Amino acid sequence: MIQGSIVAIVTPMLPNGDIDFEAFDRLLEWHIESGTDAVVVVGTTGESPTLTMEEHCAVIARAVKTVAGRIPVIAGTGSNSTTEAIYYTHAAKEEGADACLLVTPYYNKPPQEGLYQHFKKIAEEVDIPQILYNVPSRTGCDLLPETVSRLADIKNIVGIKEATGDLDRGQQVISLCGDRIAIYSGDDATALDLILAGGKGNISVTANVAAKLCSEFQEAALSKNNSNLLAKAKQINDKLLPLHKSLFIESSPSPVKYAASLLNLSSDDVRLPLVKVTEETKKIIKSA
């Protein structure tokens, strides 16, 4: 089982908009050295909506080659087209990814039965571990706990990134199917509470710039029966909260790319329709 600190990694860009693969390599090495447990590439934080199909697959291939089996590589392969999601998932398997992360179909607003059939079809078509991703604030589509429970019976659906930020929702999903699939937080600010309720880790934006702290936090939080480690987890969580909040003042990943640029990890360049953060936001991020 993949668990712990899982970074939803940015895709570094050059000023002309091309992908900066050399910076991407350095970033992956930094995460491995910092104790990150797994990496999600070409997710929302990786600006997947603005990558071409060729770039999408190239980033997955580069991550697999650079990481070279040292930590799991999870490829973002979701789409609002079931056919396209199957294509990306096939490609990720062929490139050697360890698992895939599949966001709910955005904009279409399918009913729960449509969501069930969508994920079931992808799982049947491609034999690779698959993690569902529910983030209704961005997709306009909510994968309900009862539907997650149905999907948990499919053998290669192994987890869900629950990014509602609603702890009651997260606990409900854990109660219904936490014995069959792994439930990951997709919300840095509430990750500790979800892990203490039975979650297996956090797919994190903040880990892009606080990799070592996030790794230490996850290790401590997952040791729930050790009071000293739990106190350490709470201490780190309190320290990280201002950073968590600052990275979502504007649409992600613009804030985290600016934060990464402060550490010389990546440029703050993003692709349209996203733009760089404002000067006021820069001050808040820099302070955090």
Active site amino acids:
133, 161
45 and 84 Cβ atoms separated by less than 8 Å = no
| Torsion, Cα of 44, 91, 155, 142 (10° steps) | 30
Q: Please report the sign of the dihedral spanned by the C-alpha atoms of residue 61, residue 56, residue 81, residue 179.
A: positive
Residue 203, H or E segment: strand 201-204
Q: In this structure, is the dihedral angle defined by the CA atoms of residues 17, 19, 22 and 25, taken in order, positive or negative?
A: positive
147 SS3 class:
helix
Residues 6+ apart with CB under 8 A from 23: 12, 265, 266, 267
Give the closest residue to 156 by CA, choosing from 123, 121, 200, 119.
123
Q: Which residue is associated with the tokens 């504007």? A: 250
CA dist 248 and 229 (Å) reads 28
The Cα 67–Cα 28 span in angstroms is 7
